[in-house]
Amino acid sequence: MPTPPAPLHGITVLDFSTVGPATRCARILADYGASVVKVGVPPKKLGLQTQPEYWTYSANRGMKQVRIDLKAPEGKAAFLKLAETADVLIESFRPGVMTKLGLGYEDLHALNPRIVYCSTSGFGQDGPAAKQAGHDINYLAMGGFLHTSNRRGDGGPPIPGATVADSAAGGMHAALAIFAALLRRTLTDEGEYLDVCVAEGVLWLTSLYVDQYLATGETPGPGHDVLTGRYACYDVYGCADGKWISIGAIEGHFFANLVKAIGCEQWLEHQYDDEVQDSMRSDFTAAFKKRTRDDWCAVLVPGETCAAPVYTIDELVADPQFKARGIFTEAVHPEHGNFRQVAPALAGMDRVDSPISVPDWSQTNTSELLAKAGVPEGEIQRMFDEGIVG
């Protein structure tokens, strides 16, 4: 059978972001087949934007870029030519910035009624915190994620090892909203405005605990239930070699298999007895210290105990399960040569079998894209000469 087109084949996205949730969103859309065009400032203003390392965000694979001075009338006019036929616009400026430039949703909707316009921000486009600056840790803090995480040694919430707000509460949130808007557009033939608030995305991630409080008045926190460290059957334990193993033996039959395998059968009938959890955890800790992590995994993983190693990054890229699933691929950069990266990983994305050519981000596609949009060649060259585009 012929290979079907990618889910977003034929969809053009204009993306103003360089880092953070919006850039995560653009990465998702590109890996689902959208034609993503990154819109940046011209070379004379490069210092005004964060320039990520070449390998970040999958090294911009499958993307193109234009650099335009949107404050110059000719630059703005050139950008509007691109926007006339775009399907999606993503921006992550402070609320009101795009409107001041004359590029807000109402401006572009008048030009292109089918455009889906996605604004990503930390706290949304309105409300008392709308213009408040923030980063991943701040959104996780305000959305309840940090408070419900288990405490570090000094009693404070831990700093997560992944940018959960940027990636899940922001990037995936925005991508999901865009997919829904594009689907609705097939019914209405109209685009729409999306106000993606990252802090609200975090709140949704912690909604089990928020809903618990709203329904019962109970205040969830670290260690308040099985998923936040209350019980010894759901924890991480250090092993003889200094490495760690994760245990998620929530169900009774998994717990029974676990305690038998580690020699702690005395706790078989006490899985959720609160008064013995400290003693049980102490015995588990002592048991796991007797063998190396990989020795324990060899016993517990096939033994139906819900155990898994706590991998370091260099370990996980060699894991046979991920390798068998084709989750890593090779990229080829014009300057930096060959290197490995995470392949398109989410369900429905097309996996790749051969090295991916990634762009040299010091070069742009400005001439090509503006010419395709109908900007005369002489006008493009003049804007290059004057530093309006790059």
Q: What pLDDT is attached to residue 1?
A: 74
Residues 99 and 41 in one domain: yes
Q: What pLDDT is attached to residue 214?
A: 96
Residue 217 domain-assigned (yes or no): no
Last residue of a domain, one of 271, 294, 310: 310
Neighbours of 348 (CB within 10 A): 11
CA distance 190 to 192: 7
CATH number at residue 305: 3.30.1540.10
Residue 298 domain-assigned (yes or no): yes
Q: Which burial class, exposed, middle or buried, applies to 97 when counting CB atoms under 10 A from its CB (0-12, 13-18, 19+)?
A: middle
CA distance 115 to 192: 7
Q: List residues with catalytic annotation.
A: 135, 166
Residue 36 domain-assigned (yes or no): yes
Q: How many domains does the chain have?
A: 2
Residues 200 and 110 in one domain: yes
Residues 16 and 52 in one domain: yes
* Beta-ladder partners of 330: 340
| pLDDT tens column, 279-306 | 999 999 999 999 999 999 999 999 999 9
CA distance 166 to 163: 5
Residue 143 is part of which domain span? 12-205+341-385
Cα→Cα distances 128→124, 131, 134, 323, Å: 10, 8, 14, 47
Task: Fill in the amino acid letter for 190.
Answer: E
Residues 282 and 362 in one domain: no
Q: Which secondary-structure segment (H or E) carries 13?
A: strand 12-15
* Structural contact between residues 260 and 308, judged by C-beta atoms closer than 8 angstroms: no
- Residue numbers of the chain with a pLDDT score lower than 70: 46-50
CATH number at residue 154: 3.40.50.10540
Q: Helix count (H) and strand count (E) of the chain?
A: 16, 12
Residues 289 and 380 in one domain: no
Residues 350 and 294 in one domain: no
Residues 290 and 350 in one domain: no
CA distance 217 to 177: 31
CA distance 69 to 379: 14
Residues 262 and 354 in one domain: no
Residues 196 and 277 in one domain: no
Residue 321 domain-assigned (yes or no): no
Residues 241 and 367 in one domain: no
Q: What pLDDT is attached to residue 44?
A: 77
